[in-house]
Amino acid sequence: MIHTVGHSNHPIERFLGLLQPHGITAVADVRSTPYSRFNPQYRREKLQAALAEVGIQYVFLGEELGARSQDPTCYDPDGRVSYTRLAKTALFLKGIERLKAGMAAHRISLMCAEREPLECHRTILVSRELVRDGVPVTHILGDGSLETHEHAMQRLAASLKLTDADLFSNPADLVEQAYDLQAARIAYVKKESGR
């Protein structure tokens, strides 16, 4: 199993308190840029040191699993990253394999910035691919409670008003539709230079 967590604007002690009760032994940082202007406690070096103090390892996987790909083929003509294209790149697949290999020795939590898992690529991109590979995913929420990935996706489908009332839709199709709609809503868009 892999967990996910968002650092949000929590004081570092609160963030560590989200991880420790769930036995997390390694944090995989999937932010494309491992720095925070507004929450300096989550700058890569400070975070790594704080985690080390409580025996949690840190690994940066933002290059492999971040939402702001350096690969120009991952963007549509409007400059929006396509999670579908990104998930098929060799670099992304390498990151997924690193996570799966790391599960043998560690209880891993993916980490990004957003408190709400449904507003973050750690859920809509990375967790989607992990689940497709048969890896169970559980989200650590801001209050410390746990939510299964399946429940999170049901919540997303409901919030998007996708229902199984359609005779030809099944729950799996609705989840896929929810992923795609949310990805289009939250995906990074490159700003044109000169604007």
Neighbouring C-alpha atoms within 13 Å toward the C-beta of 48: 9
- pLDDT tens by residue, 82-116: 999 999 999 999 999 999 999 999 999 999 999 99
pLDDT at 170: 77
Instruction: Enumerate the β-bridge partners of residue 139.
Output: 4, 147
DSSP letter string over 21-63?
GGT--EEEE--SS---SS-GGGSHHHHHHHHHHTT-EEEE-HH
* The domain over range 2-186 is classified in CATH as 3.90.190: yes
List CB contacts of 14: < 8 A, sequence separation 6 or more.
none
Residue 148 tokens, joined: 């299964």
Answer yes or no: are the C-beta atoms of 96 and 133 closer than 8 Å. Answer: yes
Tell how strand 57-60 and strand 26-29 pair up.
Answer: parallel
Look up the pTM and report it. Answer: 0.93
Task: Using only the alpha carbons of the chain, give its radius of gyration.
Answer: 17
pLDDT at 194: 41
How far out from the chain centre does Cα 98 lie? 15
pLDDT at 123: 98
If we measure between CA atoms, which residue out of 2, 172, 195 comes closest to residue 98? 2
Domain boundaries, the chain: 2-186
Q: How buried is residue 59: exposed, middle or buried, by Cβ count under 10 Å (0-12/13-18/19+)?
A: middle
pLDDT at 193: 45
C-alpha span between 8 and 146 (Å, rounded): 16
pLDDT at 174: 86
Per-position pLDDT tens, the chain of length 195: 999 999 999 999 999 999 999 999 999 999 999 998 899 999 999 999 999 999 999 999 999 999 999 999 999 999 999 999 999 999 999 999 999 999 999 999 999 999 999 999 999 999 999 999 999 999 999 999 999 999 999 999 999 988 765 556 677 888 899 999 999 999 999 986 444
Max distance between CA atoms of the chain, in angstroms, equals 54
Neighbouring C-alpha atoms within 13 Å toward the C-beta of 58: 21
Residue 189 tokens, joined: 């868009």
pLDDT at 165: 57
Q: According to DSSP H, which parts of the chain are helical?
A: 12-19, 44-53, 62-65, 83-86, 90-102, 121, 128-132, 149-159, 171-186
